[in-house]
Amino acid sequence: MATLCRPSVSVPEHVITMEETLELARTRHPDHPQLPLALRLIENTGVRTRHIVQPIEETLRHPGFEQRNKVYAAEAKARVPAVVRAALDDAELLATDIDVIVYVSCTGFMMPSLTAWLINTMGFDSTTRQIPIAQLGCAAGGAAINRAHDFCSAYPEANALIVACEFCSLCYQPTDLGVGSLLSNGLFGDGVAAAVVRGRGGTGVELERNGSYLIPRTEEWIAYDVRATGFHFLLDKRVPTTMEPLAPALRELARRHGWDASDLDFYIVHAGGPRILDDLSKFLEVDPDAFRFSRATLTEYGNIASAVVLDALRRLFDAGGAAHQARGMLAGFGPGITAEMALGRWQHAAVREAV
């Protein structure tokens, strides 16, 4: 069965703290009628630091969508290869061992996808399949895992590479002054992540089942308004309430697998904000500490969109992983409102080989 190996994660060198974010909001929008509310919401995110691809002075300027997209492409090409190499090393594979690349990103656009550039420059075989996904937002991390799982289920000897590249700071829009936009300015960060799903062998999460669920009639709750100035992020105030209808979907996926979603050994979920994690703890009836890796990502990096799930999983690996055969759940949440969910057991390569 396909095994999701240790992810590699990288965040940019430019850092902005919570205190700096709050001060920027105060100085740039001193007369905003809802400034106190926006400041309170930003403080409640729990985000202490975020990493961005440009210095904050450059981030706050808007040179136009064309120039921003050029920055996106240049930064992706500069930062993704090292993360990919590390993920391949962790999976003990070479580029020539990879059969498909699943690339997810919602913060810039390239055609052909970065997958073509990676194949041409990093030694992947010319027959490598490409699956670029651009419109699932934060749910795309979970979707990438699931599409890699599907591919390896169809081709049991195959290996898949997942790449998530998110530069949320390049979507900053200085003219967007709604409370949701101000909150987003203090929540989202930049990051790149990669992981390998091995068709055979490896240490990590042996994927057993995946599923997707879309909450009906919520497609406008998280969206982009695409204008001449680029991507304008739209965030409905009802988004934090979505764990109540999504928790039953997570429970149902586990039930169909013969598991109890309230009684698993590890949980790796998207951290859209503290309310998401608090509500999921409540509606799944699990200890809040179960989401400690997701909370750590949120605190240290902010919401890095599709890369959150991979970073939270990386933190589980770095904490020593889980016991052999421990049962776990992975889930990403995003536009739609969509949940991409997976179930699997922790596998240690040495134990597997001994058996």
CATH number of the domain within which 280 lies? 3.40.47.10
- What is the C-alpha separation between 289 and 307, in angstroms, rounded? 21
Residues 162 and 265 placed together within one structural domain of the fold: no
- State which of 140, 174, 198 marks the end of a domain: 198
Q: What percent of the chain has pLDDT over 90?
A: 89
- State which of 198, 233, 260 marks the end of a domain: 198
Residues 62 and 109 placed together within one structural domain of the fold: yes
**What is the residue range of 330's domain?**
204-354
* Per-residue pLDDT reduced to its tens digit, 129-158: 999 999 999 999 999 999 999 999 999 999
Residues 50 and 132 placed together within one structural domain of the fold: yes
Higher pLDDT, 266 or 31: 266
Residues 125 and 182 placed together within one structural domain of the fold: yes
Residues 308 and 222 placed together within one structural domain of the fold: yes
* Per-residue pLDDT reduced to its tens digit, 85-133: 999 999 999 999 999 999 999 999 999 999 999 999 999 999 999 999 9
Residues 175 and 317 placed together within one structural domain of the fold: no
- Rounded to two decimals, what is the model's pTM? 0.95
pLDDT at 220 over 60: yes
Report the domain count for the chain.
2
Total residue count of the chain as it appears in this document: 355
Residues 191 and 282 placed together within one structural domain of the fold: no
Residues 182 and 287 placed together within one structural domain of the fold: no
| Per-residue confidence band for 1, with pLDDT thresholds at 50, 70 and 90 | confident
- What is the C-alpha separation between 29 and 165, in angstroms, rounded? 30
Residues 231 and 149 placed together within one structural domain of the fold: no
**Active-site choice (138, 152, 168, 171):** 138
- State which of 167, 198, 229 marks the end of a domain: 198
Residues 239 and 130 placed together within one structural domain of the fold: no
Task: Please indicate whether residue 171 is annotated as part of the active site.
Answer: no
Residues 101 and 68 placed together within one structural domain of the fold: yes
Residues 176 and 313 placed together within one structural domain of the fold: no
